[in-house]
Structure 1
Amino acid sequence: MRMLMTVAIAAAALGTGGAAHAQSGNVEGRVDRLEREMRAVQRKVFPGGAGQTVEPQITPETNTVIPGVPASSPVADLTQRVSALEGQLTTLTGQVEQSQYRLRQLEEAFNAYKSATDARLKGVETSSRPSVPGAAVAGDTATLDEPAPASAGRPAPATEKPAAKPTGARAQQVAAVAKPSSNDPAEDAYTYGYRLWQAKLYPEARAQFETVVNKYPQHRRASYSQNLLGRAYLDAGAPSLAAVAFYENYKKNPNGERAPDSLYYLADALTKLKKPSNEVCKVYNELTQLYGDRLSAEMKAGVAEGRATNKCK
Structure 2
Amino acid sequence: MTIAPALAAAPAPRRFARRIPQAFGVLVAGAILATLPAPAAAQDNTDARLRKIEAEIRALQRNVFPGGDGRFFEPQITGGEQAASRPDRPSTSAITDILARLDALELQLQRLTALTEENANALSRLDERVAALEAAPTVRTPAPAESAATDSNLAAMTDEDAAEGDQRIETAPVSSGSATASAETTGPSPERLAAVQAITKPDTGDPGEDEYTYGFRLWDAGFYPEARQQLSSFVEGYPDHPLITFGRNLLGRAFLDDGMAEEAARWFLRNYQADRTARRAPDSLLFLAESMIEMGDTRRACIALAEFGETYPAIATGRLADQYESNRRKVTCE
2:328 is matched with which residue: 288, 307, 312? 307
Per-residue CA distance 1:5-26 (angstroms, 9 max, x = gap): xxxxxxxxxxxxxxxxxxxxxx
Cα distance in structure 1, aligned partners of 2:249 and 2:191: 28
Please report the RMSD computed on the Cα atoms of aligned residues, expressed in angstroms. Answer: 2.9
Matched, 1:172 2:172: no
Residues 281 and 122 of structure 1: is their aligned pair in 2 closer, same or farther, counting only changes over 3 Å? same
The answer for the alignment partner of 1:53 in structure 2 is none
Residue 262 (structure 1) aligned with residue 284 (structure 2):
yes
**Runs of 4+ with >3 A deviation:** 154-158, 160-167, 294-298
Residues 171-220 of structure 1 show CA distances to partners (whole Å, capped at 9, x for unaligned) of 10111112101110111011111110011111111122112211111111
1:195 correspondence with 2:237: no
Check if 1:226 corresponds to 2:256: no
Q: Which runs of 5+ in 2 are unaligned?
A: 1-141, 162-167
**Residue aligning to 2:306:** 285
| Whole-angstrom CA distance in 1 between matches of 2:329 and 2:222 | 31
Secondary structure of the structure 1 residue equivalent to 2:147: helix
Deviations 1:76-128 (A, max 9, x none): xxxxxxxxxxxxxxxxxxxxxxxxxxxxxxxxxxxx9422331122111111x
Identity across the alignment (%): 31
Q: Give the corresponding residue for 1:271.
A: 293
In the TM superposition, 1:144-223 aligns within 5 A as: 153-155=170-172, 166-223=188-245
Distance 2:267 2:153 in 1: 16
Cα pair 1:212 1:221 within 8 Å, conserved: no
Paired amino acid for 1:286: E
CA distance in structure 1 between the partners assigned to 2:261 and 2:275 by the alignment: 21
Q: What residue in structure 1 maps to residue 274 of structure 2?
A: 252
Other-structure match for 1:15: none
TM-score (norm 2): 0.49
Q: For 1:125, which of 155, 177, 180 is the aligned residue?
A: 155
Larger displacement relative to structure 2 (258-267 or 112-121): 112-121
Structure 1 distance, partners of 2:309, 2:326, is 13
8 A contact 2:211–2:231 mirrored in 1: yes
Deviations for 1:245-269, whole angstroms, at most 9, x for unmatched residues? 1001011122221111000100000
Structure 1 counterpart of 2:307, which letter? E
The 1:157/1:182 distance shift into structure 2, 3 A limit, reads closer
Indicate conservation of the 8 Å contact 1:220/1:256, yes or no.
Answer: no
Aligned pairs, number: 182
